[in-house]
Structure 1
């Protein structure tokens, strides 16, 4: 199966796809995100593209069986203005919705999936997308999924849409998996000897500490709140913190990457600042949740075909 990544970011979908799906193209408007993507997936054809201007012929030219979309979430967030398709950051998605009807039926992807914040489910963008898909013969399934349901000790609830021109796998509920210990995802060396840039200043703790979610790494039931693109810049409502020997510290980028499901081998270019790493991770997605969503697609017309991921 060949996939086209739209809004590919740092490669969350690519990490979920592994070797089971061949990446036909990975497009994003951010040069910084693409630098990280290429650093980790040098064999993938990733390029910077203005998704507000891409044509139907360009999209169809990738010959992809699956399109994966992770458009900007800010137009639909709880703390945002919820301007929906009127938000300038929604222009790229709006353009894709405008050109989608121009693609001939024989050049449409077999499958399409989209990930966004829960607020997307109540948006005009969602209504327009589902209407287009139904008109073009797609079956649709929508769900909300959080990594905690998959045993990952990190809250990141998201809306997922799956659409297919083939029968989707029968929907079934699964038992929530027990949370893995937070310790499994931590770099314990940072607790014993945290670098100064990760530590919260004592005066910050004195002033705002009561409003922070500060976790004990040894607590069996500990889980993080959602890390946003503002982590490291906004003190409140951007993510959790950890107790350590010298006080309270931020989660390191590679720890957040592990909680998102990226492999241990995932790396950032050395020159990329700490703040930019946090921002890119906050704008990324849960690799484990994406893998769960992909399992809803049949790889052949038969609805009982083997799953993409055993």
Structure 2
């Protein structure tokens, strides 16, 4: 196959401005894939043409990698870092409490930086100055009892009282101390409606009224970029007023990417990755390793469970998918039975789980991303992560306004 000349010409122009990894990050593919397009070995999808044109319309970033500084809180395995490094950022501080996630993080970002553990034990003073704060903070219930009473008594409560005991408090205290130009927060879609909207109201009040940031939020679905229905709320804030708008989002049409594009390929074209070897895929036999196929006992149980709930009129049950599917949301519990996403193996054959490498692809990670932990840990890590190309697009929207915002005046 040959690449369409117009797309190839666009790609060549873009690569004059950006590094291949940065282009790959923006497009949500592996750098190797970009190389294949350049060599005419494969043909990019239709959305790539528009995405390349949009990249050319941007003002190119000079100075490779240290244009703006960001910190990565509740970092997990670094999905937000992937996206913002692709936009030219430099990570100057990371916090993640889980030791296994730290191992994966270090394997993929071997820059010698220490990963801080529990952020609740990290003083603001030890965190370097930064332009952007990134945080996929866990959503814990907010205790706002007593706030109305304090208001009625004329007593100020502030964000410390309203959010103390939640991990959002640590985001707020770091924002208050460092006053970065911008922040990007990520959470589950239901944060917006949790506790009848009161939790989100506290968050917005803290960010806007207590901290003085100009806040924009939107729910984004990963299936614009990957074959997975995964809705997350994204909250973006700027210290200074800038004309940021979600209307500038470049959203590929949903369903453009299907599951077959991320599954292991059995036609001999599956790439041999040195860091994977045959752990997930037997290259000699051109097949996924048998351990990912469900046992007869587990498959029988899942079918029985689905039938029982179907008879009651419930929607519970396994999710059987094929190459043409868009999957359900990958969760951290995927390691238990894989039932939410089971790949159909055909009549008379038991389905299989996704392999951890396929989970990485489903979340938009490039094949260069290393998976050093056990399958169980890897499933949890990818299920808890972000869809990388979603936040590559968010980073693209945020990046121009880091320069546009006026510098703060230091007294």
Unaligned runs of 5+ in 1: 76-82, 304-310
Paired position in structure 1 for 2:288:
194
362, 383, 393: which is aligned to 1:282? 383
TM-aligned CA distance change 1:35 to 1:162, over 3 Å? same
7, 11, 14: which is aligned to 2:81? 14
Paired position in structure 1 for 2:132:
66
Paired position in structure 2 for 1:144:
219
Check whether the contact 1:231–1:279 (CA below 8 A) recurs between aligned residues: yes
Shift of residue 204, structure 1, vs aligned partner: 2.2
Report whether the alignment pairs 1:41 with 2:109.
yes
Distance, in Å, in 1 between the alignment partners of 2:293 and 2:98 is: 29
Shift of residue 299, structure 1, vs aligned partner: 2.8
Report whether the alignment pairs 1:256 with 2:384.
no
Shift of residue 102, structure 1, vs aligned partner: 5.1
160, 164, 167: which is aligned to 2:234? 160
Check whether the contact 2:181–2:402 (CA below 8 A) recurs between aligned residues: no
Shift of residue 84, structure 1, vs aligned partner: 4.4
Please state which structure has a larger fraction of its residues in helix.
2
Report whether the alignment pairs 1:232 with 2:335.
yes
Cα RMSD, aligned residues only:
2.5
Report whether the alignment pairs 1:5 with 2:103.
no
Distance, in Å, in 2 between the alignment partners of 1:273 and 1:69 is: 25
Check whether the contact 2:230–2:328 (CA below 8 A) recurs between aligned residues: yes
Distance, in Å, in 2 between the alignment partners of 1:122 and 1:258 is: 30
Shift of residue 92, structure 1, vs aligned partner: 5.5
Count matched residues.
279
Unaligned runs of 5+ in 2: 1-67, 145-163, 267-280, 307-316, 407-411
28, 48, 54: which is aligned to 2:96? 28
Paired position in structure 1 for 2:260:
183
Report whether the alignment pairs 1:213 with 2:288.
no
CA offsets, 1:212-248, max 9 Å, x none? 111122x3xx111111110021555xx3110236531
For the residue of structure 2 that corresponds to 1:26, the secondary structure is: strand
Shift of residue 277, structure 1, vs aligned partner: 0.8
Paired position in structure 1 for 2:40:
none
Check whether the contact 1:200–1:247 (CA below 8 A) recurs between aligned residues: yes
TM-aligned CA distance change 1:147 to 1:100, over 3 Å? same
TM-score normalized by structure 2? 0.62
